[in-house]
Amino acid sequence: MKLDNKIYKTILDNMYDGVYVLDKDKKIIFWNKAAEKITGYPEGEVLGALCSQSIFSNITSRNNQAYFGFFPVIRALSDGEIHEEELYLNHKDGRRIPVYSRAVPVKDKKGQISGAMEVFIDKSVQMSTLFKIAELEALTLIDPLTRAGNRKYTENIIGTRLNELERYKWPFGVLFIDFDDFKKINDIYTHDAGDKMLQTATKIMLSNCRLSDFVGRYGGDEFIVVVVNVDKVKLKLIANRFRILIERLRFKAGEQDIPITASIGAALAKIGDTKEELIRRADTLMYKSKLSGKNTVTTDYE
C-alpha cells in the first residue's frame, strides 16, 4: 500500500485533525502536520515505525488503563470495522493529550484489508473549558470566606433531602448553628478577627461531620448542618457534639484567647415540610437556645 498522491497528502496536511495511516504490517506510512502538532512528534521520527513501537505504545483510556496494542486503529486493521473512542495520547514533552479517535479500515480493490487510517481530534481546549465551567459552578456554590457551602447550595441540599424523605422515607435533620456574641468579637477585636474565627470554626465543623452530611454558611455567623440517617436521639447527640467542639475551640486574637460558644436548634424533617418551613423551625429552636442562656441545644421533640 502506498500513498504517493500529492493531492491527497496536501488535503490531509491541511486538516486541523491528526491523521495517520498504517499498512497491513502495522507500520506508519503517513503522518500529517496536525498529528505532528498534536503529539509533538515530527514525521521523520514516526514514519516506518511499527505502531506498537511508536508513540502509541503507551496510549491510555480515560480511566488511565493501558491498551496493550488493542487501540482503535489496530482493531480496525484486525476486524475491518470502524472503531471510535475517547482516549489519551502521550505528547513528546510528557503531557497526556485527550483525543477523540475514529479508526477505519482501508481496503484494496478486492475488498481485502490493506491498512487502516485513524483520525484523532485534540480535545484539550474542550476539556479545559469543561474544567473552567466546573470551577465556575463551584464558585457559585461555595462560600468564599469559609469554604463551606453557601446559602444557595444549602437550600439545594435541603430540597434534595426532602425529596428523598418523600420518596424513600430516608430520615434527616437540620442543625441551625449561631455563634454566641459574635458581634462583640467583631466590635472588640475587628472584623478580621471575626472572619478568622469563622474560618477556624468552619474547619472544625467540616472535619468532624460525616461524609454523608453537609455544612453550609447560611449568612453572617449562621450555619446549617444537614445530617442524614438520624432519629431524634442521634440528631441531638450530633448537635451536642458540634456544640462541644465549638466550646472547646480557643481562638487567638493577638495574645488573647477568645472563648467561643454556639446556640443550636435541631429539627427533624417531616414529610410535607418545605425547605423554608424546616429552616424556619430550626431557626426558631436556635433562638430558644439563646433565650435559655446560650451554648445549648434545643429540639422540637423534647
Which amino acids are annotated catalytic? 221
Angle of CA points 75, 65, 52, to nearest 5°: 45
Residue with the three cell numbers 497528502: 9
Cα separation, 297 vs 277, whole angstroms: 19
Cα separation, 40 vs 55, whole angstroms: 10
- At 121, list the grid cell: 481530534
Task: List, in sequence order, every residue forming a beta bridge with 21; answer none if it has no partner.
Answer: 30, 117
Cα separation, 99 vs 56, whole angstroms: 13
Cα separation, 168 vs 158, whole angstroms: 15
- At 281, list the grid cell: 423551625
For 142, the enclosing helix (H) or strand (E) is none
Query: Which amino acid is located at 150 in the chain?
Result: N
